[in-house]
Amino acid sequence: MSPRWLAGHSVRLLENGEQYFPAVFDAIRRAEREVVLETFILLEDKVGWELHAALLDAVRRGVRVDVMVDGFGSHDLGPKFVGELVAAGVRLRTFEPSRRFLGIRFGMLRRMHRKIVVVDARLAFVGGINYSADHLADFGPLAKQDYAIEIRGPIVEQIRRFALAAIRRGRGDAAPALPADAPRRGAAAGPAAALFVTRDNWEHHNDIERHYRVAIRSARKRIWIANAYFFPGYLLLRGLRRAARRGVDVRLILQGEPDMPIAKMAASLLYEHLQRDGVEIHEYCRRPLHGKVAVVDDDWATVGSSNLDPLSLSLNLEANVIVRDRSFAAELSDKLEALMRTECKVIQCQPPCRAGVWQSLRSAVVFHVLRRFPDWAAWLPRHTPKLVARTGGRSESIGGRRAG
């Protein structure tokens, strides 16, 4: 079923762990009935242990707590960390535990990459921030720059039911009824319209990319995208080039100090192809960029977990919130403009004669490979992902067809 726009939301932009973690942990500490949490990465560092304490406190107050972590991103959780949560009553599940062979982890494709929190069916958080200390500035030069959204209003119920269905899939459990005092679908919390968009490998293969393309195609003023891993498909690239040719201010904020050098190398292969039509490339150089956000014109913005690369657009499980609200779009665009003005370098377009035959040939090959990548991704072997319930000393597989 296609997602629907819902009106009546209040939204708040959260930048980096300094804003995100206090907001999430405070919401969990105030929870009265239910906490639902999904994350790609949960580490046993100061952030992970603070989340651990907040979840323990909640479940001991009688709050129902459901948590799902990805088995690749959160592979190192120890028995003490897990055992204390499970013993207290937290329902903890691991999505597709990764396998090790000779010390090497395998199974990095089709990961559960979402970052979602829902508290008491009243408040939801969606974004790109994991539970690890590298999302805090005091981590040092490798601290990540990232964003999330806090949202209240009718769409929270939709996010809640989606997350619970994913966490409990395989058991046939239905999502528990909405708390009696929770906001109903028609209860407005603010002026913003919102859309919750996900990507999976069964029914919603390209929903997030499709909404990007629709917004890009309709843009008349600006398209500003900040994305950590930028290597999208042909249709999205073509949309950006066409927008720039018709006079839209198209700017990309990409990694200048990458956490994974291959990501910058891949994105750089597209620079010449985009710049020749007027797309501006800005590389964020203060620290690794981990954000996945965009603003189109004056009232469309998105924040979420989805990068614009083959893993996110064709393989991983992702979730974004799209917001139609002039105030929120203005706030996000102000943040991006500040990054471009003070912490980015503009990549100058090289004249064709200076680009070199090899560079031009390489860019052309990459561009044409991208035309067919979604089709090639579909050829990868499929299997039923395992959803494993953690029980402290052992794990119970409850995998279900629609988990992945």
Tens of pLDDT along 359-379? 666 666 666 666 566 666 656
Structural domains in the chain, sorted by start: 6-202+381-403 (3.30.870.10), 218-300+325-377 (3.30.870.10)
Residues 32-71 pLDDT 10s: 999 999 999 999 999 999 999 999 999 999 999 999 999 9
**Is 186 buried (19+), middle (13-18) or exposed (0-12) by CB count in 10 A?**
exposed
pLDDT for res 341: 96
Reply yes or no on whether the pLDDT at 398 is more than 70. Answer: no
Reply yes or no on whether the pLDDT at 5 is more than 70. Answer: yes
- pTM of full prediction above 0.85: yes
Q: Which of 266, 307, 261 is nearest to 113 (CA)?
A: 307
Query: Sorting pLDDT into bands at 50, 70 and 90, what band is 388?
Result: confident
Task: Look at phi and psi of residue 151 and say left if phi exceeds 0, alpha if psi is from -120 to 50, else beta.
Answer: beta
pLDDT for res 370: 60
CA distances from residue 35 to 87, 119, 156, 244, 294 in whole angstroms, order as listed: 17, 5, 12, 44, 28
Which tokens hold the place of 237? Answer: 């690239």
Residues 6 or more apart whose Cβ sits within 8 Å of residue 281: 251, 252, 254, 271, 274, 275, 346, 347
Is the distance from CB of 193 to CB of 10 less than 8 angstroms? no
Cα–Cα dist 348/266, whole Å: 17
Residue with the larger pLDDT of the pair 112 and 354: 112
Place of tokens 């319930």: 389
Catalytic positions, written as ranges? 113, 115, 120, 290, 292, 297
- Range from 184-193, 248-257, 290-299, 303-312 carrying the lowest mean pLDDT: 184-193
Beta pairing partners, 311: none
Residue environment code for 173-182, b if the CB has 16+ CB neighbours within 10 A, otherwise e? eebeebeeeb
Cα–Cα dist 311/210, whole Å: 16
H or E element at residue 271:
helix 271-275
The sign of the torsion formed by the CA atoms of 69, 38, 200, 298 equals negative
Residues 220-260 pLDDT 10s: 999 999 999 999 988 999 999 999 999 999 999 999 987 77
Q: Where are the alpha helices (DSSP H) in 72-173?
A: 79-88, 155-168
Cα–Cα dist 323/275, whole Å: 28
Reply yes or no on whether the pLDDT at 148 is more than 70. Answer: yes
Reply yes or no on whether the pLDDT at 102 is more than 80. Answer: no
Half-sphere exposure of 137 (CA within 13 A, CB side): 5
Average per-residue pLDDT in the chain?
87
